[in-house]
Every structure is written in structure tokens, then in C-alpha cells.
Structure 1
């Protein structure tokens, strides 16, 4: 049961992360109020790293910022390793 909940959580947080990255790109193109970088990075840290990566590269957003280009893949790898050791095979 715990694994199922974890998978639902990961699906939800990665979907949200992807949508927020996409929304921020939309806002940037239209010169409107933006979503803070702290929020974007925070979403990746709490499990939305895959959604953040997809949002970055599909929307071509934040791909010139080192803290995103290096940080989000690093967070993703750390989360994969952590998931393997904590939950076995995810």
C-alpha cells in the first residue's frame, strides 16, 4: 500500500512541477508576473525533479541558468538513488 501511495505522490508532484515550469515559461513570454526560482527548485526538491526536467527541456525554459541545468539533474539522480535504497525497486 505504501508503494502505491508513493507512486501516486510522485505522479502528482511531477505533473504539478511540469505544469508550473510550463506556466512560468508562458508568463515569461508574455512579460507577466513570474513564478519564483525558489518555488521551481522547491518543487523539484520535494519530488518533482522529472517534471521539472521535462518542463525545462520541452518548453526550453531555464536552460541557460546553471543552477537549473546542473541542479535539477543532480536532484533527480539523488532522488533516484534515494528511492532505490529506501524503497527498493521503484
Structure 2
């Protein structure tokens, strides 16, 4: 695959992971202030689309959404699936 594809993919993954991390932090801050919250669906979207590492890191660092089973198990499961997919891509398209 062309080098440009891998560069664009890398930038995309960095952006979606930062977005997932920031959303978890913002929602935690809003929860502490009893302010308007970010919908859970919105928290899941960047995680589903490649931002599982940022979502898991945000969940752990901010200690946010750790009691909800679908976050507690869903985010790490999505992370494992994404890592497996990345490993497969690296193996399949190496060289």
C-alpha cells in the first residue's frame, strides 16, 4: 500500500484517540459540576471508529464510567479487536 495511505491512517488514529480521551475528560468534568453531560453514544463513537486506546486511557485516568459494564468491558474489548486488526494489517501488508 502507498506510504501516503499509512500516513493518513496514522494521523486519523491519533486524532480519533485524542478525541476519545478528551471526551472522557470533559464528561467527567461536567459530571463533577452537575452540568449538561455528553451522551454515552457520543462517548462510544470515536472508540468504535478506532479510538479505543484513547477511550480506555481516558476512562482509567479520569476514573470515569468505570461502573458501567458496557464501558468497563466494551472499551477494552474494542481495544483488543483494534489491536488484532492492526496486527493483521501489519502482517498482511508488510514490506
Q: TM-score range by the shorter chain?
A: over 0.9
Q: 2:64 aligns with which of 58, 61, 81?
A: 61
Classify the secondary structure of the residue corresponding to 1:39.
helix
Q: Note the C-alpha offset of 1:86.
A: 2.8
1 CA distance for matches of 2:59 and 2:43? 10
* Structure 1 unaligned spans of 5+: none
Q: Where do 4+ consecutive residues of structure 1 move more than 4 Å?
A: none
Q: Which residue of 2 aligns with 1:78?
A: 81
Return the index of the structure with the highest Cα Rg.
Answer: 2
Normalised by the size of structure 2, how large is the TM-score?
Answer: 0.88
Q: Note the C-alpha offset of 1:43.
A: 1.3
Normalised by the size of structure 1, how large is the TM-score?
Answer: 0.93
**1:37 aligned onto 2:40:** yes
Q: Which residue of 1 aligns with 2:18?
A: 15
RMSD across aligned positions (CA): 1.2
